[in-house]
Amino acid sequence: MKFPFRTIALIGKRQSDAIAEPLLRLAAFLSEQRIAVVVDQETAALLGAHPYQAMALEEMGGVVDLGIVLGGDGTMLNIACTLAKSGVPLVGVNQGRLGFLTDISVETMQQTIADMLAGQFVTEQRMMLSARIVRGETEICSGLALNEVVMHRDSVSSMIEFEVRINGEYLYTQRADGLIVATPTGSTAYALSSGGPILHPGLELIELVPVSPHTLSNRPIVVDSASVIDIKMLGRHASGVRVRFDSHAHFDLEIGDRLEVMRYAARLYLLHPQGHSYYHMLREKLLWNKTL
């Protein structure tokens, strides 16, 4: 990570006209600090006339020192894996309620960003997942995920059946509506709503959470992040079974396809304001600070 930050990329929520005003306001503020501003190409299309360089996300590695994402956690998920590949750290600004990943409000962003430009920030490293789908002996699809890789039924009316192996060792065969393979970051997303445990984002672990399993004995399990998870599609139903990488990509499975999931070599660097507390954020988001 390069510090001080000389070139900063601004990425806004896609297809949201409401992002233009706060993004341009932040861009002007950064320019006043003599920082070069680059705007994501798709975001730039929403801004109208502006003096800032537009650039595709894939071109930003090696050019920008920091990315500031304006939107919400979904926006962060959509761009995190692309920039993480090149080690660009990210800051999240939320337009609405503060999120798990976007924890700076639009109202306070200029002062907070000013403090961070002065070095007043904390850095988190978040592990990610790499997944590939193998049909026969051929890899036909691959993807990255910050939150989770999910195999789930889309249109089939009955449960799907699959076999799971960890590092080549048989774990179980089960029937369920799906299976979530999640990072600690993703433990507060879909995995949480399916009964999985909350994992601190600093841990190096992977959790497997079945979605509506056929039997109550099929419970979530947490494994070491060095594990290679192999999921094989079984049963009679193929059409309508899908693999999803976070919320930004998906692929349809066939009987016999194998989904292989492991830790991705690179990590995502998230920057937070000084004083950031994960436990405080949990209390706020999960309403643990409310009494009945």
Within-domain flag for 207: yes
Within-domain flag for 270: no
**Residue 161 pLDDT exceeds 90:** yes
Tally of domains in the chain: 2
Sequence letter at residue 272: H
What is the structure's pLDDT at 291?
65
What is the structure's pLDDT at 238?
57
Phi, psi of 55 (to 5 degrees): -150, 140
Phi, psi of 122 (to 5 degrees): -115, 150
What is the structure's pLDDT at 288?
87
Cis? peptide before 184, omega within 30° of 0: no
Within-domain flag for 288: no
Residues annotated as catalytic (active site), given as ranges: 73
Sheet of 178-182: strands edge to edge?
221-224, 205-211, 178-182, 148-153, 241-245, 249-252
Within-domain flag for 1: no
Which CATH number belongs to the domain containing residue 223 in this structure? 2.60.200.30
Output the DSSP codes for 165-210: EETTEEEEEEEESEEEEE-TGGGGTHHHHTTPPP--TTS-EEEEEE
**Residue 162 pLDDT exceeds 60:** yes
Confidence (pTM): 0.93
Contact 174, 214 (CB under 8 A): yes
Q: Clarify whether residues 165 and 188 are in a common domain.
A: yes
pLDDT-based confidence at residue 274 (cuts at 50, 70, 90): very high
Q: Clarify whether residues 115 and 146 are in a common domain.
A: no
Q: Clarify whether residues 111 and 148 are in a common domain.
A: no
Calculate mean pLDDT across residues 121-147: 96
What is the structure's pLDDT at 46?
87
Q: Clarify whether residues 115 and 140 are in a common domain.
A: no
Within-domain flag for 281: no
Please write the tens of the pLDDT for every residue from 62-93.
899 999 999 989 999 989 999 999 999 999 99
Within-domain flag for 105: yes
**Residue 151 pLDDT exceeds 90:** yes
What is the structure's pLDDT at 176?
93
Residue 159 or residue 88, greater confidence = 88
Please write the tens of the pLDDT for every residue from 195-205.
999 999 999 99
- What residues make up the domain containing 135? 128-265
Within-domain flag for 277: no
Sign of CA dihedral 221, 168, 267, 57: negative
Q: Clarify whether residues 70 and 136 are in a common domain.
A: no
Q: Clarify whether residues 132 and 51 are in a common domain.
A: no
Calculate mean pLDDT across residues 15-42: 93
Within-domain flag for 292: no
Q: Clarify whether residues 82 and 132 are in a common domain.
A: no
Contact 4, 113 (CB under 8 A): no
